[in-house]
Structure 1
Amino acid sequence: MTQQGKVHLIGAGPGDPELLTCKALRLLREADVVVQDRLVSPEIMALVPVATRRISVGKEAGHHCVPQERINEILVTLARQGLRVARLKGGDPLIFGRGSEEAEELAAAGIAYDYVPGITAAQGAACATGVALTHRGLATGVRYVTGHRAKDAELDLDWDSLVSPDTTLVVYMGAANMARIAVELMARGLPGTTRAMAVASATTPRQRVVTGRLDSIAGRAEGLSAPVLFVVGAVVSLYREGACGLPVSDWLERHGLAADA
Protein backbone atom coordinates (compact mmCIF):
# COMPACT_ATOMS: atom_id res chain seq x y z
CA MET A 1 0.00 0.00 0.00
CA THR A 2 1.37 3.42 -0.98
CA GLN A 3 2.07 5.67 1.97
CA GLN A 4 0.09 8.90 1.75
CA GLY A 5 2.00 12.05 0.92
CA LYS A 6 1.75 15.58 2.26
CA VAL A 7 0.96 19.00 0.81
CA HIS A 8 2.94 22.06 1.81
CA LEU A 9 1.04 25.30 1.15
CA ILE A 10 3.99 27.59 0.52
CA GLY A 11 4.20 31.36 0.17
CA ALA A 12 6.72 32.29 -2.51
CA GLY A 13 6.84 35.93 -1.48
CA PRO A 14 6.54 38.87 -3.89
CA GLY A 15 9.08 37.62 -6.43
CA ASP A 16 12.65 38.37 -5.33
CA PRO A 17 14.25 34.96 -4.56
CA GLU A 18 16.18 36.47 -1.66
CA LEU A 19 12.85 37.06 0.09
CA LEU A 20 11.94 33.37 0.03
CA THR A 21 12.16 31.75 3.48
CA CYS A 22 14.76 29.08 4.19
CA LYS A 23 11.98 26.59 4.94
CA ALA A 24 10.24 27.30 1.65
CA LEU A 25 13.49 26.82 -0.28
CA ARG A 26 14.18 23.51 1.48
CA LEU A 27 10.71 22.17 0.74
CA LEU A 28 10.94 23.22 -2.92
CA ARG A 29 14.15 21.23 -3.26
CA GLU A 30 12.71 18.19 -1.46
CA ALA A 31 9.37 18.12 -3.29
CA ASP A 32 8.38 15.39 -5.74
CA VAL A 33 6.08 17.79 -7.53
CA VAL A 34 5.53 21.57 -7.50
CA VAL A 35 2.05 22.94 -8.20
CA GLN A 36 2.56 26.63 -8.91
CA ASP A 37 0.40 29.68 -9.50
CA ARG A 38 0.88 31.90 -12.56
CA LEU A 39 2.27 34.83 -10.58
CA VAL A 40 5.15 32.93 -9.00
CA SER A 41 8.20 34.66 -10.46
CA PRO A 42 10.57 32.88 -12.87
CA GLU A 43 13.40 33.66 -10.46
CA ILE A 44 11.64 31.58 -7.79
CA MET A 45 10.85 28.76 -10.23
CA ALA A 46 14.53 28.65 -11.20
CA LEU A 47 15.23 27.34 -7.70
CA VAL A 48 13.19 24.19 -8.34
CA PRO A 49 15.40 21.25 -9.41
CA VAL A 50 15.15 20.59 -13.13
CA ALA A 51 14.05 16.98 -12.60
CA THR A 52 11.14 17.94 -10.33
CA ARG A 53 7.70 17.60 -11.89
CA ARG A 54 5.88 20.92 -12.27
CA ILE A 55 2.16 21.56 -12.70
CA SER A 56 1.04 25.09 -13.56
CA VAL A 57 -2.45 25.95 -12.34
CA GLY A 58 -2.25 29.68 -12.97
CA LYS A 59 -5.34 31.84 -13.02
CA GLU A 60 -5.86 35.38 -14.25
CA ALA A 61 -8.83 37.72 -14.45
CA GLY A 62 -11.24 36.54 -17.14
CA HIS A 63 -9.25 33.40 -17.91
CA HIS A 64 -9.24 30.61 -15.36
CA CYS A 65 -7.23 27.88 -17.03
CA VAL A 66 -7.63 25.56 -14.02
CA PRO A 67 -10.72 26.06 -11.82
CA GLN A 68 -10.16 26.08 -8.06
CA GLU A 69 -12.17 22.87 -7.69
CA ARG A 70 -9.83 21.12 -10.10
CA ILE A 71 -6.76 22.44 -8.24
CA ASN A 72 -8.15 20.92 -5.06
CA GLU A 73 -8.59 17.58 -6.84
CA ILE A 74 -5.03 17.69 -8.19
CA LEU A 75 -3.57 18.25 -4.72
CA VAL A 76 -5.57 15.41 -3.18
CA THR A 77 -4.70 13.02 -6.02
CA LEU A 78 -0.98 13.76 -5.86
CA ALA A 79 -0.85 13.30 -2.08
CA ARG A 80 -2.72 9.99 -2.33
CA GLN A 81 0.02 8.83 -4.69
CA GLY A 82 2.45 9.23 -1.81
CA LEU A 83 4.11 12.36 -3.21
CA ARG A 84 5.59 15.33 -1.39
CA VAL A 85 3.68 18.24 -2.89
CA ALA A 86 4.86 21.86 -2.83
CA ARG A 87 1.81 24.03 -3.53
CA LEU A 88 3.54 27.28 -4.43
CA LYS A 89 1.66 30.56 -4.20
CA GLY A 90 2.75 34.14 -4.75
CA GLY A 91 3.05 36.23 -1.59
CA ASP A 92 1.56 34.54 1.48
CA PRO A 93 -0.84 31.57 1.19
CA LEU A 94 -3.24 33.06 3.74
CA ILE A 95 -3.50 36.60 2.34
CA PHE A 96 -5.72 36.45 -0.75
CA GLY A 97 -3.98 33.19 -1.66
CA ARG A 98 -6.86 30.72 -1.15
CA GLY A 99 -4.56 28.63 0.98
CA SER A 100 -7.23 28.05 3.61
CA GLU A 101 -9.72 26.91 0.95
CA GLU A 102 -7.29 24.29 -0.29
CA ALA A 103 -6.49 23.29 3.29
CA GLU A 104 -10.18 22.66 3.96
CA GLU A 105 -10.37 20.30 0.98
CA LEU A 106 -7.21 18.49 2.04
CA ALA A 107 -8.47 18.09 5.59
CA ALA A 108 -11.81 16.73 4.34
CA ALA A 109 -9.90 14.15 2.27
CA GLY A 110 -7.71 13.18 5.22
CA ILE A 111 -4.56 14.59 3.62
CA ALA A 112 -1.76 15.97 5.79
CA TYR A 113 -0.76 19.56 5.07
CA ASP A 114 0.98 22.55 6.57
CA TYR A 115 1.45 26.26 5.86
CA VAL A 116 4.73 27.98 5.05
CA PRO A 117 4.32 31.77 5.31
CA GLY A 118 5.69 34.16 2.72
CA ILE A 119 6.23 37.90 2.54
CA THR A 120 3.00 39.30 1.21
CA ALA A 121 2.96 41.63 -1.80
CA ALA A 122 2.13 44.72 0.25
CA GLN A 123 5.23 44.31 2.40
CA GLY A 124 7.43 43.60 -0.60
CA ALA A 125 6.14 46.58 -2.53
CA ALA A 126 6.48 48.87 0.48
CA CYS A 127 10.15 48.02 0.96
CA ALA A 128 10.91 48.02 -2.77
CA THR A 129 9.50 51.54 -3.18
CA GLY A 130 10.36 53.05 0.20
CA VAL A 131 6.67 53.75 0.88
CA ALA A 132 6.11 52.88 4.54
CA LEU A 133 2.49 51.82 4.85
CA THR A 134 2.14 53.19 8.39
CA HIS A 135 4.53 56.16 8.46
CA ARG A 136 4.02 58.20 11.63
CA GLY A 137 2.10 61.38 10.95
CA LEU A 138 0.73 60.10 7.63
CA ALA A 139 -1.13 56.90 8.48
CA THR A 140 -2.36 55.31 11.71
CA GLY A 141 -3.31 52.04 10.06
CA VAL A 142 -3.36 49.98 6.89
CA ARG A 143 -6.16 48.06 5.21
CA TYR A 144 -5.76 45.16 2.75
CA VAL A 145 -8.60 44.41 0.32
CA THR A 146 -8.98 42.49 -2.90
CA GLY A 147 -9.71 44.27 -6.17
CA HIS A 148 -10.98 41.13 -7.87
CA ARG A 149 -13.75 38.72 -6.86
CA ALA A 150 -13.93 35.00 -7.52
CA LYS A 151 -15.37 34.00 -10.91
CA ASP A 152 -15.23 37.68 -11.96
CA ALA A 153 -18.18 38.55 -9.74
CA GLU A 154 -19.23 42.14 -9.08
CA LEU A 155 -16.77 44.02 -6.88
CA ASP A 156 -19.00 44.69 -3.85
CA LEU A 157 -16.57 46.05 -1.28
CA ASP A 158 -17.75 47.96 1.78
CA TRP A 159 -16.76 51.23 0.15
CA ASP A 160 -17.81 53.52 3.01
CA SER A 161 -15.51 51.70 5.43
CA LEU A 162 -12.54 52.13 3.08
CA VAL A 163 -12.62 55.92 3.04
CA SER A 164 -10.27 57.20 5.73
CA PRO A 165 -7.59 59.87 5.25
CA ASP A 166 -5.57 58.34 8.11
CA THR A 167 -5.52 54.80 6.72
CA THR A 168 -3.41 53.42 3.88
CA LEU A 169 -5.49 51.33 1.50
CA VAL A 170 -3.72 48.48 -0.28
CA VAL A 171 -5.64 46.76 -3.07
CA TYR A 172 -4.45 43.36 -4.25
CA MET A 173 -5.21 42.30 -7.83
CA GLY A 174 -6.42 45.82 -8.45
CA ALA A 175 -5.33 46.50 -12.03
CA ALA A 176 -8.55 45.62 -13.85
CA ASN A 177 -10.80 47.56 -11.46
CA MET A 178 -8.51 50.48 -10.59
CA ALA A 179 -10.71 53.10 -12.26
CA ARG A 180 -13.84 51.70 -10.62
CA ILE A 181 -12.19 51.64 -7.20
CA ALA A 182 -11.03 55.25 -7.56
CA VAL A 183 -14.49 56.41 -8.58
CA GLU A 184 -16.16 54.61 -5.68
CA LEU A 185 -13.73 56.05 -3.14
CA MET A 186 -14.12 59.60 -4.47
CA ALA A 187 -17.91 59.25 -4.53
CA ARG A 188 -17.74 58.63 -0.80
CA GLY A 189 -15.63 61.65 -0.01
CA LEU A 190 -12.00 60.71 -0.54
CA PRO A 191 -10.42 63.70 -2.35
CA GLY A 192 -9.30 63.18 -5.93
CA THR A 193 -5.99 64.74 -4.90
CA THR A 194 -5.23 61.80 -2.60
CA ARG A 195 -1.88 60.24 -3.46
CA ALA A 196 -1.99 56.86 -5.20
CA MET A 197 0.53 54.36 -6.52
CA ALA A 198 0.43 51.26 -8.72
CA VAL A 199 3.31 48.78 -8.45
CA ALA A 200 3.75 45.96 -10.96
CA SER A 201 5.96 42.92 -10.25
CA ALA A 202 7.28 44.39 -7.02
CA THR A 203 10.79 43.34 -5.89
CA THR A 204 11.71 41.82 -9.27
CA PRO A 205 13.80 43.20 -12.15
CA ARG A 206 10.49 43.82 -13.96
CA GLN A 207 9.19 46.17 -11.27
CA ARG A 208 7.40 49.25 -12.54
CA VAL A 209 5.99 52.02 -10.37
CA VAL A 210 3.43 54.66 -11.34
CA THR A 211 2.37 57.39 -8.92
CA GLY A 212 -0.16 60.18 -9.15
CA ARG A 213 -3.48 61.41 -7.86
CA LEU A 214 -6.43 59.16 -7.13
CA ASP A 215 -8.47 60.85 -9.86
CA SER A 216 -5.91 60.09 -12.57
CA ILE A 217 -3.93 57.03 -11.43
CA ALA A 218 -5.97 54.53 -13.48
CA GLY A 219 -5.08 56.23 -16.74
CA ARG A 220 -1.43 56.58 -15.79
CA ALA A 221 -1.22 52.91 -14.84
CA GLU A 222 -2.67 51.55 -18.08
CA GLY A 223 -0.41 48.94 -19.60
CA LEU A 224 1.06 47.63 -16.36
CA SER A 225 1.27 43.84 -16.38
CA ALA A 226 0.07 41.71 -13.47
CA PRO A 227 0.71 41.34 -10.65
CA VAL A 228 -0.24 44.92 -9.78
CA LEU A 229 -0.65 46.31 -6.27
CA PHE A 230 -2.68 49.51 -5.87
CA VAL A 231 -1.86 51.77 -2.90
CA VAL A 232 -3.94 54.78 -1.86
CA GLY A 233 -3.02 57.22 0.88
CA ALA A 234 -0.77 60.03 2.04
CA VAL A 235 2.17 57.64 2.51
CA VAL A 236 2.63 57.48 -1.27
CA SER A 237 4.29 60.90 -0.95
CA LEU A 238 7.29 59.05 0.50
CA TYR A 239 8.11 57.48 -2.86
CA ARG A 240 11.27 58.73 -4.53
CA GLU A 241 12.17 57.28 -7.91
CA GLY A 242 15.44 55.37 -7.79
CA ALA A 243 15.65 55.50 -3.99
CA CYS A 244 15.36 51.74 -3.66
CA GLY A 245 17.41 49.42 -5.81
CA LEU A 246 15.92 46.49 -7.69
CA PRO A 247 17.30 42.98 -7.37
CA VAL A 248 20.03 42.11 -9.85
CA SER A 249 19.29 39.59 -12.57
CA ASP A 250 22.25 37.34 -11.82
CA TRP A 251 21.22 36.61 -8.21
CA LEU A 252 21.09 32.83 -8.68
CA GLU A 253 24.60 32.63 -10.09
CA ARG A 254 26.09 34.94 -7.47
CA HIS A 255 24.69 32.82 -4.65
CA GLY A 256 25.33 29.43 -6.20
CA LEU A 257 21.67 28.47 -6.03
CA ALA A 258 20.99 27.78 -9.69
CA ALA A 259 18.57 24.91 -10.24
CA ASP A 260 20.14 21.47 -10.19
CA ALA A 261 21.32 20.21 -13.56
Structure 2
Amino acid sequence: MIELLLLVLTGAFAGTLGGLFGIGGGVVIVPVLYLVFMQGGADPEVATKTAIGTSLATIIVTSYRSIKAHAQRGAVNFDVLRRWGPFISLGAVLGAILARAVSGDVLLGFFAIGITGVAIQRLRGQRGAQKTISIPPLVQRILATLTGLFSALMGIGGGVIGVILLTLQGKPIHKAVATAAGFGMAIAIPGAAGFALLGLGQGEMEWAVGYVHVIAFLAVALGTLIFAPIGASLAHKLSAEKLSRVFGVYLLITAVLLLREAFFT
Protein backbone atom coordinates (compact mmCIF):
# COMPACT_ATOMS: atom_id res chain seq x y z
CA MET A 1 0.00 0.00 0.00
CA ILE A 2 2.87 2.37 0.80
CA GLU A 3 4.41 1.68 -2.60
CA LEU A 4 1.08 2.26 -4.36
CA LEU A 5 0.58 5.54 -2.49
CA LEU A 6 4.11 6.60 -3.46
CA LEU A 7 3.35 5.85 -7.11
CA VAL A 8 0.09 7.84 -7.02
CA LEU A 9 1.90 10.80 -5.44
CA THR A 10 4.65 10.49 -8.04
CA GLY A 11 2.01 10.61 -10.75
CA ALA A 12 0.48 13.72 -9.16
CA PHE A 13 3.86 15.47 -9.07
CA ALA A 14 4.73 14.36 -12.61
CA GLY A 15 1.31 15.39 -13.91
CA THR A 16 1.65 18.86 -12.39
CA LEU A 17 5.10 19.28 -13.92
CA GLY A 18 3.83 17.92 -17.22
CA GLY A 19 1.16 20.57 -17.44
CA LEU A 20 3.41 23.34 -16.13
CA PHE A 21 6.53 22.70 -18.21
CA GLY A 22 5.17 20.72 -21.17
CA ILE A 23 7.17 17.63 -20.18
CA GLY A 24 5.90 14.08 -19.92
CA GLY A 25 7.08 13.61 -16.35
CA GLY A 26 9.41 10.71 -17.07
CA VAL A 27 12.31 12.48 -15.34
CA VAL A 28 10.31 12.07 -12.11
CA ILE A 29 8.61 8.75 -12.80
CA VAL A 30 11.54 6.61 -14.02
CA PRO A 31 13.75 6.94 -10.88
CA VAL A 32 10.81 6.24 -8.54
CA LEU A 33 9.65 3.21 -10.53
CA TYR A 34 13.19 1.86 -10.67
CA LEU A 35 13.58 2.11 -6.88
CA VAL A 36 10.16 0.55 -6.24
CA PHE A 37 10.90 -2.36 -8.60
CA MET A 38 14.33 -2.92 -7.02
CA GLN A 39 12.75 -2.91 -3.54
CA GLY A 40 10.45 -5.64 -4.81
CA GLY A 41 13.45 -7.80 -5.70
CA ALA A 42 13.41 -7.33 -9.49
CA ASP A 43 16.48 -8.00 -11.61
CA PRO A 44 18.24 -4.62 -12.18
CA GLU A 45 18.22 -5.05 -15.96
CA VAL A 46 14.49 -5.79 -16.04
CA ALA A 47 13.76 -3.09 -13.43
CA THR A 48 15.44 -0.41 -15.55
CA LYS A 49 13.69 -1.31 -18.79
CA THR A 50 10.33 -1.81 -17.06
CA ALA A 51 10.67 1.60 -15.36
CA ILE A 52 11.28 3.23 -18.76
CA GLY A 53 8.52 1.31 -20.55
CA THR A 54 5.98 1.96 -17.79
CA SER A 55 6.93 5.63 -17.70
CA LEU A 56 6.22 5.90 -21.43
CA ALA A 57 2.79 4.34 -20.88
CA THR A 58 1.93 6.89 -18.16
CA ILE A 59 3.03 9.75 -20.44
CA ILE A 60 0.13 8.88 -22.76
CA VAL A 61 -2.22 9.99 -19.98
CA THR A 62 -0.14 13.01 -18.91
CA SER A 63 0.27 14.28 -22.45
CA TYR A 64 -3.39 13.84 -23.33
CA ARG A 65 -4.58 15.71 -20.24
CA SER A 66 -1.98 18.45 -20.65
CA ILE A 67 -2.61 19.12 -24.33
CA LYS A 68 -6.38 19.11 -23.80
CA ALA A 69 -6.06 21.73 -21.05
CA HIS A 70 -3.70 23.88 -23.14
CA ALA A 71 -5.87 23.54 -26.25
CA GLN A 72 -8.82 25.01 -24.35
CA ARG A 73 -6.74 28.18 -24.09
CA GLY A 74 -5.83 28.13 -27.78
CA ALA A 75 -2.12 27.70 -27.05
CA VAL A 76 -1.39 24.49 -29.03
CA ASN A 77 0.15 24.73 -32.51
CA PHE A 78 -1.44 21.68 -34.12
CA ASP A 79 0.29 22.40 -37.44
CA VAL A 80 3.66 21.73 -35.79
CA LEU A 81 2.31 18.51 -34.26
CA ARG A 82 1.02 17.31 -37.65
CA ARG A 83 4.36 18.01 -39.34
CA TRP A 84 6.64 16.66 -36.61
CA GLY A 85 4.46 13.91 -35.14
CA PRO A 86 5.18 11.10 -37.64
CA PHE A 87 8.94 11.60 -37.37
CA ILE A 88 8.82 11.78 -33.57
CA SER A 89 6.89 8.49 -33.54
CA LEU A 90 9.40 6.90 -35.92
CA GLY A 91 12.20 7.87 -33.57
CA ALA A 92 10.29 6.43 -30.59
CA VAL A 93 9.95 3.06 -32.33
CA LEU A 94 13.68 3.04 -33.12
CA GLY A 95 14.42 3.94 -29.51
CA ALA A 96 12.32 1.04 -28.18
CA ILE A 97 14.09 -1.39 -30.52
CA LEU A 98 17.51 -0.07 -29.54
CA ALA A 99 16.66 -0.30 -25.83
CA ARG A 100 16.26 -4.08 -26.09
CA ALA A 101 19.86 -4.45 -27.25
CA VAL A 102 21.32 -2.11 -24.62
CA SER A 103 22.17 -3.23 -21.07
CA GLY A 104 20.21 -1.89 -18.13
CA ASP A 105 23.24 -0.13 -16.62
CA VAL A 106 23.93 1.69 -19.89
CA LEU A 107 20.29 2.78 -20.12
CA LEU A 108 20.37 3.96 -16.50
CA GLY A 109 23.57 5.90 -17.13
CA PHE A 110 22.17 7.36 -20.36
CA PHE A 111 19.06 8.49 -18.50
CA ALA A 112 21.15 10.08 -15.73
CA ILE A 113 23.31 11.98 -18.23
CA GLY A 114 20.20 13.08 -20.11
CA ILE A 115 18.46 14.50 -17.05
CA THR A 116 21.70 16.24 -16.05
CA GLY A 117 21.40 18.20 -19.29
CA VAL A 118 17.76 18.95 -18.51
CA ALA A 119 18.74 20.07 -14.99
CA ILE A 120 21.37 22.48 -16.29
CA GLN A 121 18.85 23.93 -18.74
CA ARG A 122 16.33 24.41 -15.91
CA LEU A 123 18.88 25.94 -13.53
CA ARG A 124 19.99 28.44 -16.15
CA GLY A 125 16.42 29.72 -16.47
CA GLN A 126 15.49 32.41 -19.00
CA ARG A 127 18.40 34.76 -19.65
CA GLY A 128 16.94 37.56 -21.68
CA ALA A 129 15.52 37.25 -25.18
CA GLN A 130 16.65 34.17 -27.04
CA LYS A 131 17.97 34.41 -30.55
CA THR A 132 15.47 33.16 -33.12
CA ILE A 133 16.84 30.84 -35.80
CA SER A 134 15.38 29.31 -38.93
CA ILE A 135 15.56 25.52 -39.09
CA PRO A 136 15.21 23.99 -42.61
CA PRO A 137 12.37 21.44 -42.99
CA LEU A 138 14.74 18.49 -43.53
CA VAL A 139 16.68 19.36 -40.36
CA GLN A 140 13.38 19.70 -38.49
CA ARG A 141 12.45 16.13 -39.51
CA ILE A 142 15.84 14.82 -38.40
CA LEU A 143 15.58 16.63 -35.06
CA ALA A 144 12.04 15.33 -34.58
CA THR A 145 13.22 11.74 -35.20
CA LEU A 146 16.13 12.14 -32.78
CA THR A 147 13.77 13.67 -30.21
CA GLY A 148 11.58 10.56 -30.39
CA LEU A 149 14.57 8.18 -30.27
CA PHE A 150 16.33 9.69 -27.26
CA SER A 151 13.05 10.32 -25.42
CA ALA A 152 12.01 6.66 -25.81
CA LEU A 153 15.41 5.52 -24.53
CA MET A 154 14.99 7.74 -21.48
CA GLY A 155 11.28 7.12 -20.90
CA ILE A 156 10.38 10.81 -21.18
CA GLY A 157 7.87 12.73 -23.29
CA GLY A 158 10.28 14.93 -25.24
CA GLY A 159 8.76 18.14 -23.96
CA VAL A 160 12.05 19.62 -22.75
CA ILE A 161 13.68 19.19 -26.16
CA GLY A 162 10.50 20.38 -27.84
CA VAL A 163 10.30 23.59 -25.80
CA ILE A 164 13.93 24.40 -26.64
CA LEU A 165 13.44 23.78 -30.38
CA LEU A 166 10.18 25.73 -30.57
CA THR A 167 11.46 28.74 -28.63
CA LEU A 168 14.56 28.83 -30.83
CA GLN A 169 12.20 29.23 -33.78
CA GLY A 170 10.53 32.22 -32.16
CA LYS A 171 7.48 30.55 -30.60
CA PRO A 172 6.29 32.26 -27.36
CA ILE A 173 7.20 30.21 -24.28
CA HIS A 174 3.60 29.44 -23.29
CA LYS A 175 2.77 28.21 -26.81
CA ALA A 176 6.01 26.25 -26.94
CA VAL A 177 5.16 24.51 -23.65
CA ALA A 178 1.60 23.79 -24.82
CA THR A 179 2.69 22.37 -28.17
CA ALA A 180 5.58 20.36 -26.70
CA ALA A 181 3.08 18.66 -24.39
CA GLY A 182 1.71 17.01 -27.53
CA PHE A 183 5.09 15.49 -28.35
CA GLY A 184 4.45 13.04 -25.52
CA MET A 185 1.58 11.36 -27.36
CA ALA A 186 3.71 10.86 -30.49
CA ILE A 187 6.50 9.34 -28.39
CA ALA A 188 4.63 7.44 -25.68
CA ILE A 189 2.12 5.43 -27.75
CA PRO A 190 4.61 3.73 -30.11
CA GLY A 191 7.34 3.74 -27.44
CA ALA A 192 5.24 2.00 -24.77
CA ALA A 193 3.90 -0.49 -27.33
CA GLY A 194 7.45 -1.27 -28.40
CA PHE A 195 8.65 -1.83 -24.83
CA ALA A 196 5.64 -4.05 -24.13
CA LEU A 197 6.13 -6.21 -27.24
CA LEU A 198 9.91 -6.42 -27.17
CA GLY A 199 9.90 -7.27 -23.45
CA LEU A 200 7.69 -10.35 -23.83
CA GLY A 201 9.53 -13.46 -22.72
CA GLN A 202 12.47 -11.44 -21.37
CA GLY A 203 11.94 -12.35 -17.72
CA GLU A 204 9.22 -9.77 -17.21
CA MET A 205 7.97 -8.99 -13.73
CA GLU A 206 4.68 -10.13 -12.22
CA TRP A 207 1.76 -7.93 -13.38
CA ALA A 208 3.84 -6.74 -16.32
CA VAL A 209 3.24 -7.03 -20.06
CA GLY A 210 6.74 -7.11 -21.43
CA TYR A 211 8.48 -4.04 -20.04
CA VAL A 212 5.26 -2.26 -19.00
CA HIS A 213 4.04 -2.87 -15.44
CA VAL A 214 0.25 -2.68 -15.39
CA ILE A 215 -0.30 -1.95 -11.67
CA ALA A 216 2.40 0.72 -11.57
CA PHE A 217 0.97 2.28 -14.72
CA LEU A 218 -2.53 2.50 -13.22
CA ALA A 219 -1.26 3.99 -9.93
CA VAL A 220 0.90 6.67 -11.58
CA ALA A 221 -1.71 7.40 -14.26
CA LEU A 222 -4.30 8.11 -11.55
CA GLY A 223 -2.13 10.90 -10.17
CA THR A 224 -1.30 12.37 -13.59
CA LEU A 225 -4.93 12.20 -14.70
CA ILE A 226 -6.01 14.47 -11.86
CA PHE A 227 -3.06 16.86 -11.65
CA ALA A 228 -1.94 17.50 -15.26
CA PRO A 229 -4.71 20.09 -15.88
CA ILE A 230 -3.72 21.83 -12.64
CA GLY A 231 -0.17 22.21 -13.91
CA ALA A 232 -1.43 23.52 -17.25
CA SER A 233 -3.54 26.10 -15.43
CA LEU A 234 -0.53 27.21 -13.37
CA ALA A 235 1.55 27.58 -16.54
CA HIS A 236 -0.82 30.29 -17.76
CA LYS A 237 -1.02 32.11 -14.41
CA LEU A 238 2.39 31.96 -12.76
CA SER A 239 6.04 32.60 -13.53
CA ALA A 240 7.73 29.22 -13.43
CA GLU A 241 11.28 30.58 -12.97
CA LYS A 242 11.79 29.64 -9.30
CA LEU A 243 10.00 26.31 -9.58
CA SER A 244 12.05 25.52 -12.67
CA ARG A 245 15.27 25.98 -10.73
CA VAL A 246 14.07 23.91 -7.77
CA PHE A 247 13.17 21.20 -10.26
CA GLY A 248 16.69 21.48 -11.71
CA VAL A 249 18.22 20.84 -8.28
CA TYR A 250 16.01 17.77 -7.85
CA LEU A 251 17.14 16.45 -11.24
CA LEU A 252 20.83 16.93 -10.44
CA ILE A 253 20.48 15.00 -7.18
CA THR A 254 18.56 12.24 -8.97
CA ALA A 255 21.20 12.06 -11.72
CA VAL A 256 24.01 11.61 -9.19
CA LEU A 257 22.14 8.83 -7.39
CA LEU A 258 21.35 7.00 -10.65
CA LEU A 259 24.93 7.30 -11.94
CA ARG A 260 26.10 5.79 -8.65
CA GLU A 261 23.56 2.96 -9.03
CA ALA A 262 24.58 2.31 -12.66
CA PHE A 263 28.35 2.40 -12.40
CA PHE A 264 29.46 2.21 -8.75
CA THR A 265 27.30 -0.52 -7.17
- TM-score class, shorter-chain normalisation, is under 0.3
Larger radius of gyration: 1
In terms of fraction of residues, the more strand-rich structure is 1
In terms of fraction of residues, the more helix-rich structure is 2
* TM-score for both structures, normalised by structure 1: 0.26
Structure of higher RCO (CA pairs closer than 8 Å, 6+ residues apart): 2
